[in-house]
Amino acid sequence: MRPGRLLLIAFFGSFFPIPTAAQQTQTPTSPPLQRDPQAMAVLAQMAAATGWRASSVPADVVATGTVTRFQGDAEQTVPFTVKQRGASQQRLQFQEPDGLVTTVVNGLAASVLPAQGRPRRLPAQSALSMESRFFPFFSDILKLLDADVSVVDLGSGTIEGVPCHGVQIARHPAGKDSLSHIRELASPLKVWISQSTFLPVQIEYVRLAVDNQHVVMHFSRAFSDYRVVNGIAVAFQQVERFEGQLMYRFQLTNVQLNAGLTDVDFDTDKL
């Protein structure tokens, strides 16, 4: 990371760096719209291994656990709770030493309530690119047949010591509204799938800078400790990196599907 150069915002109840326009000026190149047969076959095997099918996706998920932050040689572990409904609604709370920190995302709206102080609104590009990665079955992984989604084969690679096959999934909005470009920038999702178990080993994705909708930052999240919850495979350990640097290790302890979440859980005006 670049100390003093990155703008910090609260996300997932903690803090992670958001670059300014002066720091990163390159944007990802969108792949041509296609559905590679080999990539589609690998994703079909992944769906069979994980139970991630459109017909079985839960309406919502509530999970609890702990997160360990890594800042240089220092580590800090705190409890957290994440609530998720679909791809665009999420609520995450971290029990910090000085109080509860809450981040809520609801479509184009996002707000952060720190342990001390007033709620802070985040811009639309931040909300759009803050799709939860705890549960990838809420992403475009299960929307491969949408007309504006491309599926590209990335070939083989070794990820976390595991031989994998890579696939990139990206959405290319056909509309010309003011947010189409932002949606496309935030869309690409690379999935690395074990060649032996067909479980996702890692995903790679981007976030958009809070101060410039055209600037991207690159994240990855490694999955392990898969457990089956109501027929669906959930990774109970997840490790997140920013530009290759270790940042967070999440350990889930309890996952509840179809918990009956309501609009109140994702109301950004009631933090």
Contact 182, 118 (CB under 8 A): no
Binned at pLDDT 50, 70 and 90, residue 203 comes out as: very high
Q: Taking the CB of residue 216, how many other CB atoms lie within 10 A of it?
A: 22
Who's near 71: CB < 8 A, 6+ residues apart? none
Encode pLDDT of 112-163 as tens digits: 999 999 999 998 888 888 887 999 999 999 999 898 999 999 999 999 999 9
Instruction: Give the pLDDT confidence score for residue 131 in this predicted structure.
Output: 81
Give the C-alpha separation, 136 to 154, whole Å: 18
Question: What tens digit of pLDDT does each residue of 5-37 get?
Answer: 333 333 333 433 333 444 444 444 444 578 999
State the DSSP code for 258. S
DSSP code for 185: H
Q: Give the pLDDT confidence score for residue 25 in this predicted structure.
A: 42
Q: How many angstroms separate the CA atoms of 253 and 63, rounded?
A: 8
| Residue 22 confidence (pLDDT) | 40
Mean pLDDT value of segment 233-244: 96
Q: What is the predicted pLDDT for the residue at 17?
A: 38
Mean pLDDT of the chain: 87
Residue pair 153/49 in contact (Cβ under 8 Å)? The answer is no
CA distance 194 to 207: 25
Mean pLDDT of 250-267: 97
Q: What is the pLDDT of residue 241?
A: 96
